Amino acid sequence: MPDPLHGIRILDLTNVLAGPFCCHQLAHMGAEVIKVEVPGSGDLARQLGADPDLNEKLMGVSFLAQNTGKQSITIDLKSSAGKEIFRKLVATADVLVENFRPGVMARLDLDYETLRRINPELVYCAISGFGQNGPLHEQPAYDQIIQGMSGVMSITGDDESAPCRVGYPVADTIGGLTGAFAISAALAKPKPGRGVMIDVSMLESVLATMGWVVSNFLVTGRKPQPLGNDNFTASPSGAFRTGEGLINIAANRQGQFEALCDVVEAPELKLDARFAARQGRLDNRKALQAALEERLANSSAAEWEERLNRAGVPAGRILSVPEVLSHPQIEGRDLLGSFTNVSGVDRPVRFARTGMRLDGKRPKTATPPPALGQHTENILQSLGYSRDEIIALQQAGVI
């Protein structure tokens, strides 16, 4: 099938992660994404990552990860000439995505109500920490702030380590996915009448993904607790020590528990009154874990993974990031992409594509992450600016 968003132009005014991740997903779907950046510095992510040399070149790894398939134009949106360029761009666009603090675009006179007069069909998506209104709407927010305020940190870790942050920017990522989902839904509506203002709150987006945890409290009044690696709905379900390495086992059903007992050669556990029924296994979780780990110590996590899955018991080793990236399951499904000869980067740039296939094919971006302002001149020429006008704008610091 053709790229679903082929022919859709998106203006990406976003920085760091939530917004860039949103637009990166849409770029994989075939949209033309034009990244509008501040002259001289651009997206802050250009200066973030594990390689100081790349950060210095404004091609930080954090930027490289979320910006393939995009073009880059630099515009000073505080200048009158910059605003004029941007308004011309908006007239050609289908979507605009920004993740400024609420009120910033209004102060620039570039908010949705203003821009819809230029382009009534514009899908305008604002991603912010708390949304466009409410008592916290003007408060700045980063991923860890949202993780803490959403309750995620309060249930991550165990009695000793909680509250603990999730090991990657989960709130930023969920906010970006929510934005991409909302934009895709808006684009499904035909013109005329497609124009809409999308207000994405990272806090609300994260809470929406915590369905079971939130509902357990709303319906039963039970306050969620940190359980470490244990599954709060079932036992034995969690991480277990083996003779070599850790393994996750999810024997959530009665048949799976009984099969687990058979595989580890502990049939007596099926008859133990403490473990015979689901609730009993939850009430006696620690005793059951100790009994199972005594048997699991006889083999490695890799061996148990194979035996348990063959018996119908869901199980998987706990892998490091390098281990999973080199796993045949990942290598064989074309998740990882690579670009060579990326401007300012002295090595191939590898990155993760979107986590889906369409008709068996992985959506792919066609171009590497752009250098800051790499496409400014071409985009301005497409808007009707002459070479002399572009030089004048450069000399004035507008672009």
Supply the residues annotated as catalytic: 172
Residue type, 76: D
CA distance 85 to 280: 67
Q: Are 349 and 338 in contact (CB under 8 A)?
A: yes
Task: Return all residues near 185 (Cβ < 8 A) that are at least 6 apart.
Answer: none
**Strands, DSSP E only, in the chain?**
9-12, 32-37, 70-74, 95-98, 123-128, 196-201, 237-241, 246-250, 315-317, 336-339, 349-352
Q: Which residues pair with 198 in a beta bridge?
A: 125
Q: Are 269 and 291 in contact (CB under 8 A)?
A: yes
Q: What is the DSSP string of 138-197?
A: TS---HHHHHHHTTTGGGSS-TTT-S---SS-HHHHHHHHHHHHHHHHHHTSPSSS--EE
CA distance 50 to 357: 30
Environment class of residue 72 by beta-carbon count within 10 Å: exposed (0-12), middle (13-18) or buried (19+)? buried
Task: Return all residues near 298 (Cβ < 8 A) that are at least 6 apart.
Answer: 243
CA distance 196 to 348: 39
CA distance 49 to 65: 10
End-to-end CA distance of the chain: 38
Environment class of residue 266 by beta-carbon count within 10 Å: exposed (0-12), middle (13-18) or buried (19+)? middle
Q: Which residues pair with 200 in a beta bridge?
A: 127
